[in-house]
Amino acid sequence: MAQDYIMIRSQSDIGIVALNRSVFTTIAKIAIDEEDSIVLNDGGSLFKYPISCKLVDNKMVLTIEVKVKYTVNVSDACSKLQKKIFESISHMSEYTPEKIDVRVVGFVF
């Protein structure tokens, strides 16, 4: 069964920090907004958000649907985005995602 949060143990025994899925999707959205060559896919369904975060057994899988500018090398841009999202989540939450799946669904002209 999927979880709505991830438990992060602090270094002291004072307590436990739990982070909701929306924290990770927000961090990913901020990282995408900072990129000039990639934009989130907005042409999908009204009820489907282009960033999906699944948490199973304290392992996180992010799936992101993006559009890439047509003048940019797609492989390099997606690799750079994956690295940026991974580093942002690692620095802001002290948690490392299991998998970041960037799906290119179109191009921006």
Interval 14-48: pLDDT, tens: 777 888 889 999 999 999 999 999 999 987 666 77
Global pTM?
0.85
Domain that holds residue 62: 5-108
Looking at the structure of the chain, the number of domains it has is 1
DSSP 7-72: EEE-SSSS-EEEEEHHHHHHHHHHHHHT-SSEEE--SS-TT--SEEEEEETTEEEEEEEEEEETTS
- pLDDT value of residue 10: 62
> Under a CB-based contact definition with an 8 Å cutoff, are residues 64 and 35 in contact?
no
Domain containing residue 89: CATH number: 3.30.70.1350
